[in-house]
Amino acid sequence: MFFWVKIVHVTSVALSLSLFFVRGLWMLSDPARLQRRWVRIAPHVIDTVLLLSGVTLAWLIRQYPPWSHWLDAKLLGLVLYIGLGTVALKRGPTRAVRAGAWVAALGVFGYIVSVAVTMNPAGFLLWLQ
């Protein structure tokens, strides 16, 4: 079961990142595309699957916040990513603010993935040492 849940989780990660990246490009070049029905619904479906598979994986490997510091770091990163993503795609007052938040959100996404791969709260910062 672990293998299949991990496949679903990693696939959801890839889909979520890909769609966020494309939506950011559309925000910069053609914001009207962001109003399409499927563009407004798909991220919620993908991210729900991502969250459910992540919770299932944590349960299967018996890693639970707050006793698993790397998982705590992922969850805090997720909150920051969601906040930046909201600014990037909806709430940013100017295109420059939105673009900056989009780039920052992509960086946080990279950090979250690096924490998952290393199972260490430092994530890619380990490689800078």
Per-residue pLDDT at 110 exceeds 80: yes
Q: What is the mean pLDDT of the chain?
A: 92
**Cα–Cα distance list, 13 to 3, 20, 43, 111, 113 (Å):** 15, 11, 11, 13, 9
Domain range enclosing 14 = 2-128
Total number of domains constituting the chain: 1
Closest residue by Cα to residue 119 from 59, 73, 50: 73
Question: Rounded CA gap, 107 and 122, in Å?
Answer: 14
| pLDDT, tens only, 41-58 | 999 999 999 999 999 998
Q: Is the pTM above the cut of 0.85?
A: yes
